[in-house]
Structure 1
Amino acid sequence: MLPEKLLKEFRSAFGMDPICHDTEKGTCIFEQNGYIVIKTNGVLIAQFKDDESSYGDILSFYAKKAGLLSPAERDIEKILRSMFVNLIVLTEVEDRYGFSHSQRVAKIAEGFAMYLNMKPEEVEDLKNHALLHDVGKIAIEQLMLYSPTRLRTFETHYEDHPTMGTIYLSIHESLWRYIPTVRNHHEKWDGTGFPDKLKGTDIPYFARIIAILDYYDEVTNFVSADWDSEIKTPKQAINEIKRMAGTFFDPDLVNKFVEFMQTVHKIEV
């Protein structure tokens, strides 16, 4: 439990109680031996004296570690996220049904998250991460617009878009939680991706999911010099994803994605 005054301040700031069912999972805040303790996945990351004058600073620290937003920050996040999503969709090519790449990735992310039994708020969160994953390409589109060698410009700067996306999302703290996905969705399981050469489970979880979904939508909708000279069928794309499990993609997530496509989308592989 927490001191009553700190609980009241927490409820006022975030509209909820700081519920922590398991101190070994997630980020938890609680009172212990006269201190306000914050742990992440069971590891102590901060310990404060129980001083009422410091409650505001304690809650601010906890909120950043737990990814919590105040109601006002949630409103700002929603406005900024919508602004970026609109720009992303406007700069992407629509399919015959009127959907863009990021919209399609978000749609399949929503279904995959439900298949993984994520909580409703996690499903919505993954969907939003998917909508923003290519936000950095806005910069490339601007370069291409004013460049006399547009294709060459795109090829030269393609690997910059995760970094550019990171810069865009750094404008406000409410968008920071999307940065790991935006920055790292082109990392590879074997550590040969970009921009940070992350390897295995060092790659953020949502980024590992989006990497698979991004590839699937890319090769089933576009001719890409990075992958092949013709559009793949869903079956071909899934077989390629299986082949790249353990090198490009998280092998456990690949298995679950293949099951999802077989079970929900009825694709035989």
Structure 2
Amino acid sequence: MSYNKLAIKLLLNYLIGSLIAVFVFCRIFIFHPLQVSKSETIVILGLVMVSFIVMLIMEYSAYSKQIAPIKKVLKYRRPTLLRVEAAYQCAHRFPLLSFQRIILPHFIGITAPAAILTILAINTGLLSFPYYYAFIACIAALLIAFMHGMIEYYLTSLVMRRVMKFLKEKGNELFQRDISHGAHLLLSIKKKFYFSAALLSVFPMLLFAAATTLRLHESGSAFLMEYIVWAVIVVIIVLAFALFGSNLLSHDIQEPVEQLQNGMRKVEAGDLAKLNNYYSDEFRDLINGFNHMVDSILEKKQMSEQLHDSFFTVFAATLDARDPYTAGHSIRVAEYAQHIGRRYGLSESELALLKQSALLHDIGKIGIRDEILLKDGKLTTSEYETIKLHTIIGEQILQEIQPSEAITPLLPGVRHHHERFDGYGYPDRLAGESIPLFGRILAVADAFDAMTSDRNYRKGMSFKKAFAILEEGKGSQWDPRFVDLFIAWYQTEYRKQASLKAVNE
């Protein structure tokens, strides 16, 4: 996109609005209702041309300042990031700036000199109008300026959307940045409806009423005052209906828009709820599209979660496969830990993290040599110290996974599942509740499965004996709360299984 092409498009938009406004003003408001001579017509056209030139000078000065940020980017091949961002914000505001330019420099530039020159022409006898005609002409010019401003706003919006698209692509291409962030709401739909409806309904009525009033005054009609009162009443009624109708229409449009906005905010917050769809216009398709998007996200999220869980399970199974005597250990620890966590009152998201931490709690054993990890019989002091390093190695391995936010909640359980409640565990000799929550839960689950599983050098003990050891170690090796919760779960589960067995028999 080149600046010259943009300037031509904006100029065409401006000329369309300006020529229509001047034609409407001169043809309908001045020459049609007023009986003017040929010489007065020439004087009026001269006044309009002088005023038009003054207006162009003032408006071009304002336009040059407003377009400058966009011009700087379009004129240079390698603009800076700050300039691209400034240009984008300028393009975002430019339709509203165009409207303001029409109402201020445009209106003042043409009205002030026209009114002054008209009064001078009346004083010198070049025009035979009453002085108050100049005042009425200023009011009419203000109405026309608002109409021109509205046209300019919508035409410029169409052009600036393409400019914003170009600038956003340039920001991505040159700086890999999304420069569209930070663009905020400038004009609500409700205000657009109110203003457009009021102007489109009242503008032709006021212009017609003013032109008719002048014509009646010229003809000396006796019904002039009666017509003025009637015209004012009609204008007020039309304006009231226009505002009432625009209010109904804006509400009809704002409701689904707000529903979509709330839905998007919920999606951003992780709440993938579908929207109710009871619309019969184009918003029906938009709501359906949003709901299809939510369905697609839910489906992909479910697949991602399944893949995520499978990854941790396969990882744990791969680790356990190094030692056939510990096969399934991590999966069982995860199951026991979740029963403890559920009875403790952890949320579903916390339980999911606890499960993942349990599946990976022994991942550090990958870094332990087979001759130590798979050794038959009792380990030496040196070998035991090496085995103890698996908690630190596991944490170091997981810290390499990206994004770090996803793996950080799992690290405490991996590092601290061999801490003792009395402070004589490893690797950091933490005590009591200074041991992270996941570490205390996994300590109970890990110890129970280690005691009840077969090893190459011993056979696993009974559940009854393992629970007795857990009871003895409450407050010294393990957190008493989690031992009690685990035993309570098992007893409840045992009674359920006994009842089912009795029913089946």
TMscore range, shorter length: 0.5 to 0.7
- Whether 2:463 is the aligned partner of 1:208: answer no
2:360 match: 132
Deviations 1:123-182 (A, max 9, x none): 222221211111111111xx21xx599636854511000000011110130212111000
| Preserved CA contact (<8 Å) 1:183 1:195 | yes
1:230 is displaced (CA, Å) by: 4.7
1:182 match: 414
2:479 match: 250
- Structure 2 stretches lacking a partner, 5+ long: 1-183, 186-261, 273-300, 499-505
Determine the C-alpha separation between the residues in 2 that align with 1:193 and 1:87: 27
- Structure 1 stretches lacking a partner, 5+ long: 18-70
Give the secondary-structure state (helix, strand or coil) at the position aligned to 1:136. Answer: helix
Determine the C-alpha separation between the residues in 1 that align with 2:317 and 2:478: 29
Determine the C-alpha separation between the residues in 2 that align with 1:115 and 1:255: 10
Q: In structure 2, do the counterparts of structure 1 residues 230 and 203 end up closer, same or farther at CA, with 3 Å as the change threshold?
A: same
Determine the C-alpha separation between the residues in 2 that align with 1:117 and 1:149: 36
Counterpart of 1:234 in structure 2: which amino acid?
A: F
1:42 match: none
2:332 match: 104
Q: In structure 2, do the counterparts of structure 1 residues 116 and 231 end up closer, same or farther at CA, with 3 Å as the change threshold?
A: same
Aligned with residue 219 of structure 1, among 451, 474, 487? 451
| Larger Rg over CA atoms | 2
Determine the C-alpha separation between the residues in 1 that align with 2:421 and 2:338: 23
Determine the C-alpha separation between the residues in 1 that align with 2:337 and 2:385: 29
2:348 match: 120
1:166 match: 395
Q: Which has the higher contact order (CA 8 A, sep 6+)?
A: 1
| Preserved CA contact (<8 Å) 1:110 1:123 | yes
Q: In structure 2, do the counterparts of structure 1 residues 89 and 10 end up closer, same or farther at CA, with 3 Å as the change threshold?
A: farther
Counterpart of 2:413 in structure 1: which amino acid?
A: T
Aligned with residue 88 of structure 1, among 319, 324, 342? 319
Q: In structure 2, do the counterparts of structure 1 residues 238 and 82 end up closer, same or farther at CA, with 3 Å as the change threshold?
A: closer
Q: In structure 2, do the counterparts of structure 1 residues 113 and 148 end up closer, same or farther at CA, with 3 Å as the change threshold?
A: closer
| Preserved CA contact (<8 Å) 2:416 2:436 | yes
* TM superposition score normalised by structure 2: 0.35
Deviations 1:192-225 (A, max 9, x none): 0000010100001111011001000001113488
1:235 match: 464
1:11 is displaced (CA, Å) by: 5.8
* More strand as a share of residues: 1
| Superposition CA RMSD, Å | 3.6
Give the secondary-structure state (helix, strand or coil) at the position aligned to 2:363. Answer: coil
Counterpart of 2:467 in structure 1: which amino acid?
A: I
Give the secondary-structure state (helix, strand or coil) at the position aligned to 1:265. Answer: helix
2:429 match: 197
Q: In structure 2, do the counterparts of structure 1 residues 244 and 88 end up closer, same or farther at CA, with 3 Å as the change threshold?
A: same
Q: How many residues align?
A: 198
Determine the C-alpha separation between the residues in 2 that align with 1:257 and 1:89: 24
Determine the C-alpha separation between the residues in 2 that align with 1:186 and 1:231: 20
| Preserved CA contact (<8 Å) 2:317 2:330 | no
Counterpart of 2:319 in structure 1: which amino acid?
A: I
Give the secondary-structure state (helix, strand or coil) at the position aligned to 2:321. Answer: helix
Counterpart of 1:214 in structure 2: which amino acid?
A: D
Counterpart of 1:104 in structure 2: which amino acid?
A: R
Q: In structure 2, do the counterparts of structure 1 residues 9 and 186 end up closer, same or farther at CA, with 3 Å as the change threshold?
A: farther
1:83 is displaced (CA, Å) by: 6.3
Determine the C-alpha separation between the residues in 2 that align with 1:100 and 1:138: 16
Determine the C-alpha separation between the residues in 1 that align with 2:316 and 2:474: 30
| Preserved CA contact (<8 Å) 1:190 1:248 | yes
* More helix as a share of residues: 2
Q: In structure 2, do the counterparts of structure 1 residues 82 and 218 end up closer, same or farther at CA, with 3 Å as the change threshold?
A: closer
1:82 is displaced (CA, Å) by: 5.7
Q: In structure 2, do the counterparts of structure 1 residues 14 and 139 end up closer, same or farther at CA, with 3 Å as the change threshold?
A: farther
